[in-house]
Amino acid sequence: MNVFRKIWCRTYQFVLKIASPLLGWREPIVFEGQDALLQLCQTLKNKNCKVLVVCDQGLIKVGLVEKLCNALKSKDVFHVVFDKTVPNPTLQCVKDAFDLYTQNNCNTIVALGGGSSIDCAKGVGILAVHPNKSLEKFKGILKVGKKLPTLVAIPTTAGTGSECTAVTVLTNQDTHQKYAISDLHLIPQYAVLEASFTKDLPRHLVATTGMDALTHAVEAYVGKSNTKKTASWAVEAIKLIFDNILPSYKTNDHLARANMQKASYLAGLAFTRAYVGYVHAVAHSLGGWYNVPHGLANAVILPHVLLSYGNSVTKKLAYLATVCNVKQDGSEQERAKAFIDAIKQMNEQMGIADKLDCINAKDVDHLASLADKEANPLYPVPKLMDKAQLKEIYFAISK
């Protein structure tokens, strides 16, 4: 990247970092434990909520939607269900959900599911306060500008952290471009963290969503916009994931699942304030263009980008290697390499490939342009890269 663009990127990021504490960050009210769902439903009843439930067909099949609807019925909370959320939710998907919201005079949105359902629900919330505008107009940061209807997130995965983030990621189904909308109004008012909601999660989704959470935490930690608080959240999340992702994947252990939910939440708190980096920029381009699941893309890309960052992340990765009991001795370079190798080993143990077979060489120039446009100047990455350097990442992860 040329020197003038570097100066522009770092200046932009510095201004955002200085302004960030003034933005009035908040955290959702969290319901935890066996009675969490009923506590939420009583709260919705007290607020006279009329609920749109946003979910997908998979959750219908495993009975989680029925569980939620029964809890809502037990408190006489009016609700309708939109069950057509798709992976990498599209603008059309959000519009269809919003149409059901308006037809039933709803005033509350409850997202049940992984990042796709929560992202879709956030999009519905934006349309509820801006019904005559295209969602694409809100691409970027701090453009929503209005308080959303009551928004609730009930994650059924331990990965996205969307239940506490100020971000939604949507896909234009016509152009296949995937983009983020960031605004503090997108932070849900309520979240339910209950490990039993993840018990039916297929093993491959335990793996990829868990690695998604790890990516959030690592990118937040190595970036240049950390505070003491975000760094603490990120490190705690990373250690929880290293300790619990394999037990969660192999045995469906309840405590491990609960710890992964906590890790996902902490990683969400960290990255929504400290931002992510080139792993996400590349992953978003692959999700929009080839519909690669976001967690899978992050898992494959993460070690490659960390290697590309080189010495700019050595000290921090060495510290993470020590904290996570990956390698306690040796030089910083040796410990940093051991940390990256440990990520690769976790991927391998959970059946995640080290490369993707969907990337067409003729698309790489365009994909790198999308990633470059998303990341620069917004993401406070440890080492700035331009389009030409990002293209090397795509080739490195291609079969």
Asked if residue 367 and residue 220 are part of one domain, the reply reads yes
d(CA 121, CA 197): 18
CA torsion angle 346 234 311 223 (round to 10): 130
Asked if residue 206 and residue 166 are part of one domain, the reply reads no
Asked if residue 209 and residue 192 are part of one domain, the reply reads no
Q: Is the dihedral of CA 236, 239, 245, 247 positive or negative?
A: negative
- With 0-12 CB in 10 A as exposed, 13-18 as middle and 19+ as buried, what is 57? exposed
Asked if residue 241 and residue 289 are part of one domain, the reply reads yes
- For residue 6, tell me if it sits in a domain: no
- For residue 251, tell me if it sits in a domain: yes
Side chain identity at residue 46, one-letter code: N
Is the separation of the CB atoms in 317 and 340 below 8 Å?
A: yes
Segment 66-119, tens digit of pLDDT: 999 999 999 999 999 999 999 889 999 999 999 999 999 999 999 999 889 999
- For residue 272, tell me if it sits in a domain: yes
CA torsion angle 356 353 217 396 (round to 10): -50
Asked if residue 101 and residue 239 are part of one domain, the reply reads no
Asked if residue 174 and residue 221 are part of one domain, the reply reads no
* Consecutive H or E run containing 168: strand 167-171
- For residue 13, tell me if it sits in a domain: no
Which CATH number belongs to the domain containing residue 99 in this structure? 3.40.50.1970
Asked if residue 206 and residue 187 are part of one domain, the reply reads no
- For residue 256, tell me if it sits in a domain: yes
Asked if residue 206 and residue 193 are part of one domain, the reply reads no
Asked if residue 190 and residue 104 are part of one domain, the reply reads yes
Domain end marker among 147, 166, 198: 198
Asked if residue 374 and residue 284 are part of one domain, the reply reads yes
Backbone angles phi, psi at 175, to 5 degrees: -100, -10
Asked if residue 348 and residue 298 are part of one domain, the reply reads yes
CA 57 remoteness from chain centre: 21
Domain end marker among 148, 178, 198: 198
Segment 319-343, tens digit of pLDDT: 999 999 999 999 999 999 999 999 9
Is the separation of the CB atoms in 193 and 184 below 8 Å?
A: no
- For residue 63, tell me if it sits in a domain: yes
- For residue 274, tell me if it sits in a domain: yes
- Domain count across the chain: 2
Domain end marker among 168, 198, 228: 198
Structural domain of residue 46, as residue ranges?
22-198
Helix (H, G, I), strand (E, B) or coil at 52: strand
Helix (H, G, I), strand (E, B) or coil at 208: helix
User: Which CA distances in Å does 22 have to 6, 17, 184, 273?
Assistant: 25, 10, 12, 12
d(CA 98, CA 219): 33
Helix (H, G, I), strand (E, B) or coil at 73: helix
Is the separation of the CB atoms in 312 and 382 below 8 Å?
A: yes
Backbone angles phi, psi at 181, to 5 degrees: -115, 125
- For residue 14, tell me if it sits in a domain: no
- Phi and psi based region of residue 359 (left: phi greater than 0; alpha: psi -120 to 50; beta: remaining): beta
Which CATH number belongs to the domain containing residue 292 in this structure? 1.20.1090.10
User: Which CA distances in Å does 53 have to 7, 39, 45, 106?
Assistant: 45, 17, 15, 10
Q: Is the dihedral of CA 291, 292, 294, 297 positive or negative?
A: negative
| pLDDT tens-place values along the chain, 399 residues long | 899 999 999 999 999 999 988 888 999 999 998 889 999 999 999 999 999 999 999 899 999 999 999 999 999 999 999 999 998 899 999 999 999 999 999 999 999 998 899 999 999 999 999 999 999 999 988 999 999 999 999 999 998 899 999 999 999 988 888 888 999 999 999 999 998 888 888 899 999 999 999 999 999 999 999 999 999 999 999 999 999 999 999 987 889 999 999 999 999 999 999 999 999 999 999 998 999 999 999 999 999 999 999 999 999 999 999 999 999 999 999 999 999 999 999 999 999 999 999 999 999 999 999 999 999 999 999 999 999 999 999 999 998
Asked if residue 255 and residue 139 are part of one domain, the reply reads no
For the entire predicted model, the pTM comes to: 0.92
d(CA 280, CA 268): 14
Structure tokens at 236: 């705690």
Q: Does residue 377 have a cis peptide bond before it, meaning omega lies within 30 degrees of 0?
A: yes
Q: Which of 296, 370, 278 is nearest to 88 (CA)?
A: 296
